[in-house]
Structures are given as structure tokens and as C-alpha cells.
Chain A
């Protein structure tokens, strides 16, 4: 399993917490009876634990039914809350699709524009253009991911946050691929993250909002103001336990996986002809690496690797239900076909990565031969 991006294997401690909470926290936390209060205590404890790791106050942490919902709500509620100040939403072109689509929805309502900011060949936002866009008049909010989950490149969040603060514009930082793997720092006004990515259960997203960021609900009235209906208490508790475990073991997991990614980058580039290994080789997430093979059909490659027991992701159009390739690879100007993306789960063993690297050149050669591209 080399494809843990957004859905990592559940950490055993999180599984134990989930099962325990099915007994202790099954009730509706909105109820006033003893069982309801117990569920409420567990839910608030989960928020407190997550707040402790991200460096926020417990009351500033909301739990969402998914990372996508957290991002949508972040963009839409802040844009609406600041509609008298500005109508535009600033988005680098490599932001997650959920951010880009929510920005489209927000500006359709506000009458503003989605201001796209380009990236360089490593996938890093053009800092000068970003600072300029954030400081322009009429901006409701700006978004900048902490690091790109497809190519691993870290973004200059501290510099952009400083510029946003000077302009009085809130900065949404999508830490969906970072939290639990690396230090996300405190250069954010709104922070979103994904429990499924750090080894918690799927179905819990995090939205932390600094005091002073104005936002207005966009959903119908509900006791759970930002995420109507609330979230599963056992899932929330398991997400918090997983984050604490991931955070405590972060340094060791970071060092181990960083070295494995270095090995992947070096061997793939050296051993497979006509390959682009993309993203920043150094200033990157510890566990994410992606590369593209010229003239290779991504779907055939993923299928062939799966048959050999290797689960990998791909940003190639041929592997998705849509015809469009990864917007991240396209924005970087790198090959979109023949793409393979690895997100190493915590505890990935070096011998498993070596086995993958040993078979990869032969698999690529077979897919190329089937496509009749010898000598091109």
C-alpha cells in the first residue's frame, strides 16, 4: 500500500478508540440526559485534543463530516461574512478542487472574481504575484495550501500570511495533506485538515478559525451552526486519538519516510528512461512523491502495478472518471499522462519500497511496448 493520500490505513489506537466510543458515545450529544452528556464530553474532548495539536482554542475548532465539507464551508462562510469588505477570492492554481469550486460558488454569489495565481514548475505559488493579489482591493479571502498533496511541494505560507495580515485579508490554509505529517505552524487564519489522511477514520474534517475572522453561515439554521447535523462522536474521538499518535511519532515517521522518498526519486529517475520526477526534491512533504513516464498509459500502469500487489495513485486523465488530467500537473506544465503518485503510510518498510522500485522499470517497459512506442 503506497497510496495513503487522504485515506491512510486506520491507526490501531484510533480503531480501539472508535470501538470504545461506540459503547460510550453512541448517544446524541445534543440531548440533556446522562448518555447525551457523555457523548458531548467525548466530542468536546476530541475537539480539545485536536485544538491542542493545531495550536488553537477548543471553541475555535469545528468538526466537519469530511475534508471537502470543511473546505467548502471555510470558503463560503468567510466570503459571506466579509461580503461588505470584498467580493474576490484569491486561489493559487494548485489548490484542491474543493477550494477552487467553492471559490467559484462564492464569487457567483458575491459578484466578485476568482483570482487565480500561477505556480512554477515545482508547483510552488508565484510569491510576488500572490502577495500582489492578496493586497489588491476587494479581496474577501485568500487560500493557500500548506503543501500540495499531489506533488508534495511546500508553499510559502508564512510570507503570504504576513502579506494577508498587512492587507487585513484572512488566509485559509488547507493542511489536508500536512497535518499529522509535518509541522503546519501558526501562519493561518482559517485551517482545514483531514482525519483520513493522518490515520484517523474517513468522515471527519477539521476547520479551525482564529478569533476575529468574520464568517456567516450559508447553510440553513441548525444547532450545529457550521456543519448542520454534526459529526459521528466515535469517528471524532478516533480522529483525535489518531492525530495525537501521529503527532507524537511525527519526527521519527518524517525522517524514515523522507529518506524513502529520496530513494524513490533517485532510483526512478536513474532507472526508468524518459521520466519526469516532479515537485520540490527538498522543501516538500515527507511522504509524497510523484513522477510521470513519457508515452505511458496511466491506467494500464496502475492496473499492472495493482496486479503485482502495489497500490498507487495517478493524476492522469486516463485513470479518472473525468477526461481532464490533474489540474496540479497541468498548472505546473509537466507531463500529465503516465503519472504515478505515492503517499507513503506511516511505517512503510524500506524493503517494500525497494520491491516496488525493482519491478517498476520492467512494468513501464511492458506498457510502453504494448503501446508500440519503442524508438520514439
Chain B
């Protein structure tokens, strides 16, 4: 794994809650432990629910930024994600 490549992006723009979190969780299932994932979301609930999901699943929030109505939420997956 290269350290400087941008994390894979899950595009959940236009999806309403809880769809962005579900899309992110599906991507996380096949991603390597310790890797980073970014979800793009326009639903305002996602910026609250992605950190809450990460906490419940043992992942870490890396960043949370908004750009022109689109939230970019990046998480680092835990080493041993909770089943």
C-alpha cells in the first residue's frame, strides 16, 4: 500500500440518511484494516453519523470538511473491525 495515494472515495452524494453510512460500511467490509476511506455526502446527517458509526465500529475519524455543500468525511479503519 502506498502512503501518499489518496484514500479510496465512496460517492454518496444525493443519498439521504442512513444511505451514506451504509455505503461507507459496505466499502469498509472489503478494505484493508488500517487503511483510509473517504465518503462524499450531501446529506447533512452524514457529518454526524459517520463519526458516530466510526466510534461504534472501532474506526477513527481522520478529517471532516465541507466544500460547496459536499461533506468529505475520511475515516481510518480499525485494525480489527467489530463484526
**A residues within 8 Å of B by Cβ?**
274, 276, 294-298, 316-318, 323-325, 329-330, 333-338, 371-373, 375-376
Cβ of B25 within 8 Å of any chain A Cβ, yes or no, is: yes
Contact: A376 with B25, CB < 8 Å?
Answer: yes
Within 8 A of A (CB), among B17-60: 17-18, 21-22, 25-26, 29, 43-45, 48-49, 51-53, 55-56
Contact: B44 with A338, CB < 8 Å?
Answer: no
How far apart sit A337 and B29, CA to CA, in the bound complex (Å)? Answer: 21
Contact: A295 with B52, CB < 8 Å?
Answer: no
Known interface pairs A274-B56, A376-B26. Does A337 touch B44 (Cβ–Cβ under 8 Å)?
Answer: no
How far apart sit A376 and B17, CA to CA, in the bound complex (Å)? Answer: 16
Contact: A337 with B25, CB < 8 Å?
Answer: no
Min CB distance A296 to B, Å, is 7
Contact: B53 with A335, CB < 8 Å?
Answer: yes
Known interface pairs A295-B21, A318-B16, A335-B52. Does A375 touch B45 (Cβ–Cβ under 8 Å)?
Answer: no
Contact: A295 with B25, CB < 8 Å?
Answer: yes
Instruction: A333-B55, A376-B29 given; name 17 further pairs at CB < 8 Å.
Output: A274-B56, A276-B56, A294-B18, A294-B53, A295-B25, A317-B16, A318-B16, A325-B44, A329-B48, A333-B52, A335-B48, A336-B48, A337-B17, A337-B21, A337-B49, A373-B25, A376-B25
How far apart sit A334 and B50, CA to CA, in the bound complex (Å)? Answer: 10
Q: How large is the interface on B (under 10, 10 to 19, 20 to 34, 35 or more residues)?
A: 10 to 19
Contact: A335 with B25, CB < 8 Å?
Answer: no
Contact: A297 with B29, CB < 8 Å?
Answer: no
Task: For A276, list chain B residues within 8 Å (CB).
Answer: 52, 56
Which of A295, A329, A334, A335 gathers most chain B CB within 10 Å? A335
Q: Can you list 12 A-B pairs with a CB-CB distance of less than 8 A?
A: A297-B17, A297-B18, A298-B17, A317-B16, A323-B16, A323-B43, A324-B44, A325-B44, A325-B49, A334-B52, A336-B48, A376-B26
Contact: A337 with B18, CB < 8 Å?
Answer: yes
How far apart sit A193 and B29, CA to CA, in the bound complex (Å)? Answer: 48
Rank and list the top 6 A-B pairs by shortest CB-CB distance, nearest first: A337-B18, A376-B25, A337-B17, A335-B52, A330-B48, A325-B45
Contact: A325 with B48, CB < 8 Å?
Answer: yes
Min CB distance A173 to B, Å, is 27
Task: For B56, list chain A residues within 8 Å (CB).
Answer: 274, 276, 294, 335
Min CB distance A316 to B, Å, is 7
Min CB distance B64 to A, Å, is 12
Contact: A316 with B17, CB < 8 Å?
Answer: yes
Task: For A330, list chain B residues within 8 Å (CB).
Answer: 48
Contact: A337 with B45, CB < 8 Å?
Answer: yes
